[in-house]
Chains A and B, each alone.
Chain A
Amino acid sequence: GNSVTQMEGPVTLSEEAFLTINCTYTATGYPSLFWYVQYPGEGLQLLLKATKADDKGSNKGFEATYRKETTSFHLEKGSVQVSDSAVYFCALTPSGGSYIPTFGRGTSLIVHP
């Protein structure tokens, strides 16, 4: 079956530090890949997505590149802010069948001033 593996958190950084959250996946075919963010007390919201190999998704300074050869979709940001503190989920949706997404366990990011 499909699976998504994220680095365990929490990830603790100082403001303006560089962020990487690793995500690797297992799936057949060419799934679509997503990063969602969950702020305290809220539901998940889409951060960025990529639908085919070598696509780069980007939003609000965050980026992730769909790497088919390494089955990875690592999230990066060059300079984090305190307001980026949240839980980040990597997810995939298969390219066929029931299109049910598989989510990673989530990685908590804490940014200190």
Chain B
Amino acid sequence: DSGVTQTPKHLITATGQRVTLRCSPRSGDLSVYWYQQSLDQGLQFLIQYYNGEERAKGNILERFSAQQFPDLHSELNLSSLELGDSALYFCASSPRQGPYEQYFGPGTRLTVT
């Protein structure tokens, strides 16, 4: 158990809908990262927050947004969903900014029908 929790574990929704994925980092970790994992694209970095502030953006679509709250949990919002958004979404945390290892949650499997 990494100490990172993600909810829900599975999510099935229709095209055009909006969903929110939730992540709670390990106790004491200030940095949260979101990733998308699909068979054809591998593990893609989406966005990073550090102590409530956005720090880096990767291959995140404009339809996707995220935030980190004062209690350090984070939410990833996906809107106007398309079939191609079906993937595993992982959250990871690390203690602080720097070249440190990351601790991954179990992921949320999103299926868009």
Please give the residue numbers on chain A whose beta carbons come within 8 Å of chain B beta carbons, in ascending order: 31-32, 34, 36, 41-46, 49, 51, 89, 93-95, 98-106
| Contact present for B4 and A43 (CB under 8 Å) | yes
Encode contact with A along B91-108: 1 for CB under 8 Å, 0 otherwise: 010000111111111110
Contact pick for A100, options B56, B101, B107, CB 8 Å: B56
Assembled-state Cα–Cα distance A104/B42 (Å): 8
Encode contact with A along B13-43: 1 for CB under 8 Å, 0 otherwise: 0000000000000000000010000000011
Given contacts A43-B2, A101-B102, 7 further A-B contacts (CB under 8 A): A32-B99, A43-B105, A51-B99, A89-B43, A98-B55, A100-B33, A103-B42
From known contacts A45-B2, A45-B104, A106-B43, infer whether A95 and B99 are also in contact, taking CB-CB under 8 Å.
yes
Assembled-state Cα–Cα distance A34/B111 (Å): 30
Residue B45, interface by CB 8 Å: yes
B77-101 contacts to A (CB < 8 Å): 90, 92, 97-101
Assembled-state Cα–Cα distance A101/B90 (Å): 14
Most chain-B CB neighbours within 10 Å: which of A44, A49, A103?
Answer: A44
Assembled-state Cα–Cα distance A107/B104 (Å): 18
| Contact present for A99 and B98 (CB under 8 Å) | yes
| Contact present for B99 and A93 (CB under 8 Å) | yes
| Contact present for A98 and B56 (CB under 8 Å) | yes
| Contact present for A93 and B100 (CB under 8 Å) | yes
